[in-house]
Structure 1
Amino acid sequence: MLSVLNSRIAMLPLCLAGLLAISAGQAFGDDEQVWAALKRGGMVVLLRHTHVDMREGIAHLAPGNCAEEVNLSARGVEQAKRIGEAFRAHGIAVGEVWTSAYCRCIDTGKLAFGRATPVQYLMPPGVISEPQAKLNQERVLQDILDHRSSSNLVMITHDLNISNIVLEPSIAMGDFFVLQPNGTDFDVIGKIRMGDR
């Protein structure tokens, strides 16, 4: 299993170069195919937290004191609510909702799905050591491969975390990818763009 994870990590630079040449519209199926896959269940959703106003201190984590962090903007609050409404409108069953420990991720989960469980391994790589970031990525990959449930697992995290898994260089705030574990690897079913709407 570790060899699968290591080979996926080793292929990152090559895959990123290839994906830069392919538009998202060509690379992934349309929205209805993605929602249909979620309706079947058993998927993993990798969601970038919804909109924040970028400013200095974006990487500041203040456990238990969200006022010291960069938090969701009014637009981000509405995005998160809209994501939850879209899941409910499509009749999507959501199981666990795991998030980065940053308040913007926790709040996205609570606003969209009514709950959020922070986990340390969804922290952005820029705020932890490189060895820890690699271990965290391996943990995320392992959790994706291990997901076996009729409901969907939601992981709410940061752009680099998602880029390193799906090998797409740019993830807008509020966008999410849907992955289907297949035992030894996973398939990227598609991406839903919520960030620019």
Structure 2
Amino acid sequence: MLPRRALLAAPLLLALAAPAAGAGADGAENPAGLVILMRHAEAPGFGDPPGLRLGDCATQRNLDDRGRAQARRMGALLRERGIRAARVHSSQWCRCLDTARLLDLGPVAELPALNSTVPNPAERESRTADLRRFLAALPADGPPVVLVTHQVTITSLTGIHPASGEAVLLRATGTPNPPVLGRLKPP
């Protein structure tokens, strides 16, 4: 049974996960063109301590046990809905990389356009432009793409302020402004 919060987006995800023509024998095939723009899972606190260094998790705010469990549950929910594999990209922050790996939907590639701009707000416009170029290059009929990032990045791109572990569902259209299909609350 799905948690109450996840039920809000479950009908949308069920529709997106319907088998496409040529689906495998098990009837499960990834929905074409779906982009899952996800905020990292629960990481206590706000921001990062002074001295942040990418690649050094000891200098960053990280997932706690609840966050790790939340990321695993989100991955399980996506697999239940037919998304068994995806192209997975992540911010270079440890909490995002850990979230992306714990989803267990595929190998994780770092994508600097997903990095937080909180430490350097002057980079927000250029990072958002880089992310829009990345989104414009996604084919409408391509495999699902999971992008694990930060609240500030999602808000800059969509105007939506997601909770930790929440996903905003987009549809790749070959443009820098893919439409928002809905939101998937963390389980």
TM-score by length of 1: 0.75
Give the 3 Å change call, closer, same or farther, for CA 193–58 of structure 1 in structure 2: farther
Q: 2:89: which partner in 1?
A: 98
- Match for 2:55 among 49, 64, 68? 64
Give the 3 Å change call, closer, same or farther, for CA 117–135 of structure 1 in structure 2: same
Aligned partner of residue 156 in structure 1, secondary structure: strand
Q: 2:166: which partner in 1?
A: 175
Q: 1:32: which partner in 2?
A: 11
Q: Which structure features the higher share of helix residues?
A: 1
**One-letter amino acid of the counterpart of residue 175, structure 1:** E
User: Residue 117 of structure 2 contacts residue 152 of structure 2 at CA under 8 Å; is this kept in 1?
Assistant: yes
User: How many angstroms apart in 2 are the aligned matches of 1:164 and 1:56?
Assistant: 17
Consecutive unaligned residues of structure 2, counting only runs of 5 or more, are: 1-7, 18-29
**Range moving further from structure 2, 77-86 or 94-103:** 94-103
**One-letter amino acid of the counterpart of residue 120, structure 1:** P
Superposition deviation, residue 59 in structure 1: 7.1
- Match for 1:190 among 152, 168, 182? 182
Alignment of 1:1-197 (within 5 A): 30-38=9-17, 39-54=30-45, 57-58=48-49, 61-113=52-104, 114-130=106-122, 132-148=123-139, 149-168=141-160, 170-184=161-175, 185-194=177-186, 197=187
**One-letter amino acid of the counterpart of residue 157, structure 1:** T
User: Residue 36 of structure 2 contacts residue 169 of structure 2 at CA under 8 Å; is this kept in 1?
Assistant: yes
What does the per-residue CA deviation read over 1:25-59, in whole Å, with 9 as the maximum and x for residues that have no partner?
xxxx8431134225522111110000011057357
Q: 2:24: which partner in 1?
A: none
User: How many angstroms apart in 2 are the aligned matches of 1:108 and 1:189?
Assistant: 22
User: Residue 138 of structure 2 contacts residue 174 of structure 2 at CA under 8 Å; is this kept in 1?
Assistant: no
Consecutive unaligned residues of structure 1, counting only runs of 5 or more, are: 1-28
User: How many angstroms apart in 1 are the aligned matches of 2:66 and 2:132?
Assistant: 30
Alpha-carbon RMSD across the aligned residues, in angstroms, is: 2.3
TM-score by length of 2: 0.79
